[in-house]
Amino acid sequence: MAKITKINHIAILVSDLESPLNFWRDALGLELTQVEEVPGEQARIAFLPTGDSEIELVQPTTEDSGLARYLDKRGPGMHHICLEVDDIDGMLAQLKEKGIQLINEVAKVGSDGRRYAFVHPKSASGVMVELYELAK
Amino acid sequence: MAKITKINHIAILVSDLESPLNFWRDALGLELTQVEEVPGEQARIAFLPTGDSEIELVQPTTEDSGLARYLDKRGPGMHHICLEVDDIDGMLAQLKEKGIQLINEVAKVGSDGRRYAFVHPKSASGVMVELYELAK
């Protein structure tokens, strides 16, 4: 049986990176290790490791992406949580068998080789859940 | 300077515990270690350790608490994230100095001796952030 190993990250949607960094980095003292442009998601992401996980601040860089529309509609706040899994194909099969609604029935592959898929919030207590299997 | 050491837990607000457990426990395979009645918060909480952190499912047990009103208004979903801190008094002083708006300016004490306080979502990118200093 495929297993969840940890919380990989918590993604927080923001309209700009500067003012949130006042809180997460300057006041809380989390380290900002990287800011990455992710054209595939039309976003800029700030990474702040937190224990064995990360907090990610996600800023949409265009006005017509799904992220930008979500931000327009709801304002800044939690967007999704990402759980790391040892075998994403096994996990997706296991979720389908239990009748869980998936956004991605087959794992997608990121530029760094990690494989990921989203579970639909309808099946996950209203939470957008991402699953990651890191590249080996 | 006080330091955040890890994500202690992610709290998800639900209207009942049974149907969410179909996903978090039975489909994802997380272990349910405990279900606790927390009269002080008018809630029942299911604890599911996830790596070095926990996912908590929080079900309001009355109809007039802040949690129940939040659930009525927004439906099930993410409620707050909790960060562990090595020195909560130092952290609260540090946050005040940076102009961060706090819900609790002085740490409260839980029944198990842990000390906690909430940061106002206005100062935290729309996210409700709880801080914990565990009992020593």
DSSP string, B12-25: EE-S-SHHHHIIII
Domain that holds residue A59: 4-133
pLDDT value of position A126? 97
pLDDT value of position B95? 98
The residue of A1, A3, A4 whose CB has the most chain B CBs within 10 angstroms, and thus the best one to mutate to test that interface, is A4
Q: Does A78 touch chain B (CB under 8 A)?
A: yes
pLDDT value of position A112? 84
The pair of structure tokens assigned to B22 is 């179909």
Q: Does B126 touch chain A (CB under 8 A)?
A: yes
pLDDT value of position A136? 76
Q: Which residue of A has its CA nearest to B119?
A: A23
Considering its fold, how many domains does chain A have in total? 1
Q: If you average pLDDT over every residue of chain A, what do you get?
A: 96
CB contact under 8 A, B125 and A50: no
pLDDT tens per residue across span B67-126? 999 999 999 999 999 999 999 999 999 999 999 999 999 999 988 899 999 999 999 999
CATH number at residue B111: 3.10.180.10
CA atoms within 13 A on the CB side of A100: 34
CB contact under 8 A, B94 and A27: yes
pLDDT value of position B75? 95
* pLDDT tier for residue A50 given thresholds of 50, 70 and 90: very high
What's the complex ipTM?
Answer: 0.95
Residues of A in contact with B57 (CB under 8 A): 125
CA distance A82 to A53: 10
pLDDT value of position B126? 97
Model pTM score: 0.96
